[in-house]
């Protein structure tokens, strides 16, 4: 994919294109940013351009196609084997990089989740950085730069990728055929990651958003068993519970907006539900619900069991405590 088709990251793309034009590509880069923001795509695009011999890969020649399919004999992609990138993997990479390139002018490698190099692997890799074999182009990707040895960091040109803006993600989703309302909600929940937005849209949780919000808001005849079943279904792990909480927060923020007389809300497809909630609850009660949601989020970050966190939150949002105290 040529640079012209990369989503967002305009400054980084401009910087890399200038470097390509001036033939001043660094031998090692560290791309640092949030999960799924498109770092790997930019890495592949840079390699396409370098191999293709232009300041923007054409995206159509056999070399570009092999790079984008990660099947080019001169491109080596390394990712953790289990929890870590191990020394054997680095040694294997070093052997590959020592060969002359087969088709391109130089060899290239992408190391995904570079912070997962264990100490032995990191020290071995340091040697590659100090004495790069041939003219190899090394690109490290990480979401946690603080987990990388300072000696490695200092030998790479570091580029920080910002989370993608909500509008950019929403537009992309719409271009791939997603309705505007859904695109905006998924973009708002995705934390700057187009990948997460896409995963979310295809998830069960997203599909049942409407029903779930009604149930938790006690609009539907809900009993504690049904609520707990829902909690179990959607909070099998921390990620699931995280999305659930983010979804509830986004909705209740919208309710707060409606209550304050503003209709410019994110959940555009749920305006009637948000209006009903705004009529039913006082401003204070809505703020209280947002506070419950914040507390659940904090509990999740402290590694409280995701299912338990969701169950407690559902009860609080459903006014369960209040009702049972009247019994």
Where on the chain is the footprint of Zn ion (CB under 5 A)?
Answer: 52, 57-58, 61, 64
Query: By the 8 A CB rule, do 182 and 171 touch?
Result: no
Q: How far is the CB of 27 from Zn ion (least distance, A)?
A: 22
Count CB atoms within 10 A of the CB of residue 2: 16
Count CB atoms within 10 A of the CB of residue 48: 27
In this complex, which beta carbon is closest to Zn ion, that of residue 70 or of residue 211?
70
H or E stretch at 118: none
In this complex, which beta carbon is closest to Zn ion, that of residue 9 or of residue 66?
66
Q: How far is the CB of 261 from Zn ion (least distance, A)?
A: 55
Q: How far is the CB of 52 from Zn ion (least distance, A)?
A: 3
What's the burial of 187, exposed, middle or buried (CB within 10 Å: 0-12/13-18/19+)? buried
In this complex, which beta carbon is closest to Zn ion, that of residue 7 or of residue 61?
61
In this complex, which beta carbon is closest to Zn ion, that of residue 59 or of residue 306?
59
Q: Taking the chain, what is the end-to-end CA distance rounded to the nearest angstrom?
A: 64
- What does each C-alpha distance from 275 to 183, 184, 255, 293 come to in angstroms? 21, 19, 7, 19
In this complex, which beta carbon is closest to Zn ion, that of residue 62 or of residue 282?
62
Q: How far is the CB of 97 from Zn ion (least distance, A)?
A: 22
Phi, psi of 43 (to 5 degrees): -60, -45
Helix or strand or coil: residue 78? strand
Q: How far is the CB of 65 from Zn ion (least distance, A)?
A: 8
Q: How far is the CB of 301 from Zn ion (least distance, A)?
A: 45
Torsion of the alpha carbons at 243, 244, 247 and 251, rounded to the nearest 10: -170
In this complex, which beta carbon is closest to Zn ion, that of residue 58 or of residue 87?
58
């Amino acid at each position: 994919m040529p640079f012209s088709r990369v989503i967002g990251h305009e400054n980084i793309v401009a910087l890399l294109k200038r470097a390509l034009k001036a033939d001043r590509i660094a031998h090692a880069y560290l791309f640092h940013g949030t999960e799924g923001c498109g770092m790997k795509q930019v890495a592949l695009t840079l390699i396409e351009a370098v191999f293709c011999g232009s300041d923007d890969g054409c995206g159509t020649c056999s070399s570009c196609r092999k790079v984008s399919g990660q099947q080019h004999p001169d491109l080596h992609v390394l990712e953790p084997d289990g929890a870590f990138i191990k020394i054997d993997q680095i040694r294997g990479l070093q052997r590959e990089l020592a060969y002359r390139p087969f088709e391109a002018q130089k060899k290239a490698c992408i190391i995904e989740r570079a912070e997962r190099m264990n100490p032995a692997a990191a020290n071995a890799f340091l040697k590659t950085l100090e004495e790069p074999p041939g003219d190899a182009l090394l690109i490290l990707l990480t979401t946690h730069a603080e987990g990388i040895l300072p000696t490695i960091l200092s030998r790479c040109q570091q580029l920080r990728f910002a989370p993608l803006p909500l509008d950019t993600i929403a537009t992309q989703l719409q271009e791939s055929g997603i309705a505007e309302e859904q695109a905006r909600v998924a973009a708002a929940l995705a934390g700057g990651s187009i990948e997460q937005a896409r995963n979310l849209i295809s998830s069960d949780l997203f599909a049942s958003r409407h029903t779930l919000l009604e149930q938790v808001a006690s609009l539907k005849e809900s009993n504690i068993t049904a609520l707990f079943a829902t909690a179990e279904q959607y909070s099998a792990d921390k990620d699931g519970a995280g999305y659930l909480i983010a979804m509830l927060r986004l909705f209740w923020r919208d309710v707060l907006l409606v209550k304050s007389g503003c209709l410019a809300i994110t959940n555009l497809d749920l305006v009637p539900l948000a209006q009903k909630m705004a009529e039913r609850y006082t401003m204070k009660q809505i703020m209280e619900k947002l506070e419950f949601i914040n507390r659940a989020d904090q509990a999740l970050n402290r590694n409280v069991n995701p299912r338990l966190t969701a169950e407690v939150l559902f009860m609080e949002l459903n006014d369960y405590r209040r009702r049972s105290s009247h019994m």
